[in-house]
Chains A and B, each alone.
Chain A
């Protein structure tokens, strides 16, 4: 508890000033379970899903370790938007995908998912630089979803990063050159 609290205090995380309803409505006498199965609602169309898959791999491509698609990031993203996020979190993602698709049709005469990797990088760069409608907002959120999905996946945690299930000891002056990787938390 305190470790996360200390970390939070250190970076001065601000909680929103939302006033919570002090008395909740007890609609059901059962606790609501976490939905950990497949996405409970479809978030993407088939075309959008193909584009999310293509762009995820441009954000974190396969290099000497597997990339975002191998790590299941597109599925994670749909699951997260379906069941872990709030409905309004979908809007900037869907709007960004639409803007990228429109630009791809205009510039390349092809669906963005079918564009070349270089063209897809160009489209992502346009978004990053806010040269598409809602581009920067989409890029920040989309990249954050890819990063979150990737570095919490088995590949991200155990292959891209180094994971110590039971470190057994603590060394507060350990040489990075001994591992040349980031340790997963």
Chain B
């Protein structure tokens, strides 16, 4: 069998988007090769520290400082610990670049499953407003799709993935197909009641989480066991990951080939036929490179890595990517802005504690500029993610009295952090480093991305409003603060290959399909034309399933 006959499609990346692409394409009958640059991690058996207590984990699950400085100096911003270390990228071995004063945290996974193993799992639909604001405000480019285009695909992925949450009927945060929400604790209910009474129009709701509260026996997955050790991998399959959800489905078709330790440097392209003809892969263990012929490619390597692969796909001697006819490739890079926190104490209820360790928490949906500009000094808005909890009483002195004192809990505390929308700016861009390459010969990514006045003013407001709301609700010792806002820090980096109706102004069309190559689809965060203020992964899932459906229809119709 010729190599060209081996696979009908190649999926690059096996994270949230890649996993969905592999599942959908194989289930529709295609023979798929899925590539990932990371190491192999099999569901269950490779979750080395699943179910282990801290004393059973190297270094008591605390990252050695020297190792952080040498190898994980970026990953440290992404909640790495020895218990999940093998899911993370080694920053020393996989460098990138930025100019001094323009810091960017490119926090990357390093295993099959990508960020689906280590993500926060907060899962929200984007709203009609999110897809319309660019046009109304004449910012960036108009989305070529609207909420209604995506709504059935949200339903489709939610039903399969399993999303817990509560129906709220909020225009700025459409409801999903929910499993029952995770319960609020007694202190969160207290905050909800008082905050909603004292800040009319604002809501504090259950989070929406890709952790299940009902079993899915047909997928061999159990509901959440309230261990809150999700980042080490969950053998119960209680949260959405490639390993637990999409990979088993794709494998069940018998049409999936999965190859780990395979980094893609670029796509091969035939300018005459305007098609991608192959994927150039480097084996990360042997450094051997090969070109695998491709009929259909789903590029799902993560927003920035997909953009890097697209930029590095260029003719010999020419700096210009085959996929950059529009000149917009690598531009309009965004991340959510955060690092504004507000917290306070909740009086009373000290006879109660939490039993079980609940992932997630509560959410205050966006309330600024909902349904039109309010003249608050910035566009768009932000939401807060938070939770209430009691920590052990802090140590006082030493000896038996201290030990006894630490058997008590301190007061209930409520803390929340704001996540705000970043506007798309043409000059927030990434490029290939002119002369530095990595160990595989791939030019380094170079980031030139900064937050601007709109984002900073939004965070100013989030600080003030958060403090006001908690004080009005009756919390005591309310404090707020912010730390450095570094793009990439929210790990919601998006853009770089935006979709749009006009091929002269966008890289992808409304089907996540490259204007310059109809057999190329980019269905991860790279395609986003704006970023909402809510977490994006659920939207990547929906867009990927939709794109796969379209691709297979076109393939069957012989148009690609």
Chain A positions within 8 Å of B51 at CB level: 165-166
Chain B positions within 8 Å of A180 at CB level: 407
State the CA gap A120–B338 with chains docked (Å).
Answer: 47
State the CA gap A20–B77 with chains docked (Å).
Answer: 12
Given contacts A6-B415, A170-B182, contact A12 B341 (CB under 8 A): yes
Given contacts A5-B120, A23-B95, A128-B397, contact A171 B360 (CB under 8 A): no
Give which listed residue, A3, A14, A169, contacts B360 with CB less than 8 A.
A3
State the CA gap A14–B535 with chains docked (Å).
Answer: 23
A45 beta carbon closer than 8 Å to chain B: no
A58 beta carbon closer than 8 Å to chain B: yes
CB distance from B402 to the nearest CB of A (A): 7
Given contacts A22-B96, A169-B226, contact A9 B416 (CB under 8 A): yes
Given contacts A11-B415, A31-B71, contact A24 B95 (CB under 8 A): yes
Chain B positions within 8 Å of A60 at CB level: 398, 402-403
Q: CB distance A170 to B120 under 8 Å?
A: no
CB distance from B461 to the nearest CB of A (A): 16
Q: CB distance A170 to B352 under 8 Å?
A: no
B354 beta carbon closer than 8 Å to chain A: yes
Interface string of A140-170 (1 = CB under 8 A from B): 0001000111001110011010011111111
Chain B positions within 8 Å of A58 at CB level: 398-399
Chain B positions within 8 Å of A46 at CB level: none
Q: How large is the interface on A (under 10, 10 to 19, 20 to 34, 35 or more residues)?
A: 35 or more
Chain B positions within 8 Å of A176 at CB level: 350-353, 409
Which residues of B508-545 are within 8 A (CB) of A?
535
Secondary structure class of chain A's binding surface, majority of residues: loop
Q: CB distance A152 to B392 under 8 Å?
A: no
Which residues of B38-66 are within 8 A (CB) of A?
51, 53-55, 58-62, 64-66
Give which listed residue, A13, A35, A169, A177, contacts B355 with CB less than 8 A.
A169
Q: CB distance A163 to B399 under 8 Å?
A: no
Which residues of B394-453 are within 8 A (CB) of A?
395, 397-400, 402-404, 406-409, 413-418, 436, 439, 444
Chain A positions within 8 Å of B186 at CB level: 172-173
Q: CB distance B483 to A2 under 8 Å?
A: no
Q: CB distance B416 to A10 under 8 Å?
A: yes
B325 beta carbon closer than 8 Å to chain A: no
Q: CB distance A183 to B92 under 8 Å?
A: no
- Among A79-87, A94-102, A106-114, the stretch that binds chain B is A79-87
Q: CB distance A61 to B387 under 8 Å?
A: no
Q: CB distance B387 to A10 under 8 Å?
A: yes
Interface string of B84-99 (1 = CB under 8 A from A): 0100001111011110
Given contacts A1-B119, A2-B122, contact A32 B67 (CB under 8 A): yes
Q: CB distance A121 to B413 under 8 Å?
A: no
Chain A positions within 8 Å of B361 at CB level: 3, 6
Given contacts A15-B483, A172-B186, A172-B188, contact A10 B118 (CB under 8 A): no
State the CA gap A177–B408 with chains docked (Å).
Answer: 11
CB distance from B288 to the nearest CB of A (A): 15
Interface string of A13-33 (1 = CB under 8 A from B): 111010111111111010110
B484 beta carbon closer than 8 Å to chain A: yes
Q: CB distance A182 to B409 under 8 Å?
A: yes
Q: CB distance A182 to B392 under 8 Å?
A: yes
- Give the most central of A6, A35, A58, A121: most B CB within 10 Å: A6
CB distance from A175 to the nearest CB of B (A): 6
B274 beta carbon closer than 8 Å to chain A: no
Which residues of B70-122 are within 8 A (CB) of A?
70-71, 73-74, 77-79, 82, 85, 90-93, 95-98, 100, 103, 118-122
B199 beta carbon closer than 8 Å to chain A: no
State the CA gap A169–B222 with chains docked (Å).
Answer: 12
CB distance from A126 to the nearest CB of B (A): 12
B184 beta carbon closer than 8 Å to chain A: yes
CB distance from A124 to the nearest CB of B (A): 6
Given contacts A5-B120, A23-B444, A157-B55, contact A13 B483 (CB under 8 A): yes
CB distance from A115 to the nearest CB of B (A): 15
Q: CB distance A163 to B53 under 8 Å?
A: yes
Q: CB distance B227 to A31 under 8 Å?
A: no
B491 beta carbon closer than 8 Å to chain A: yes
Chain B residue, CB-CB nearest to A89: B65
B321 beta carbon closer than 8 Å to chain A: no
Please report B residues at the A interface, Cβ cutoff 8 Å. Answer: 51, 53-55, 58-62, 64-67, 69-71, 73-74, 77-79, 82, 85, 90-93, 95-98, 100, 103, 118-122, 182-189, 225-228, 230-231, 338-343, 349-361, 385-387, 389, 392, 395, 397-400, 402-404, 406-409, 413-418, 436, 439, 444, 479-484, 491, 535
Known pairs A14-B481, A24-B91, A172-B184; list 20 more (Cβ under 8 Å): A3-B228, A3-B360, A7-B415, A9-B338, A10-B413, A12-B482, A19-B103, A26-B93, A29-B439, A32-B71, A58-B398, A59-B399, A61-B403, A148-B62, A158-B53, A165-B51, A166-B225, A170-B355, A172-B352, A172-B358
Name 9 interchain pairs, CB-CB below 8 A, sorted by A.
A1-B491, A5-B417, A10-B341, A10-B413, A34-B82, A84-B59, A164-B355, A169-B355, A185-B357
* In the complex, the 8 A-B pairs of residues with the closest C-beta atoms, listed nearest first: A10-B415, A9-B417, A2-B120, A172-B185, A167-B356, A12-B481, A174-B355, A170-B356
Please report A residues at the B interface, Cβ cutoff 8 Å. Answer: 1-15, 17, 19-27, 29, 31-32, 34-36, 58-61, 63, 67, 76, 83-86, 89, 121, 124, 128, 143, 147-149, 152-154, 157-158, 160, 163-177, 179-185
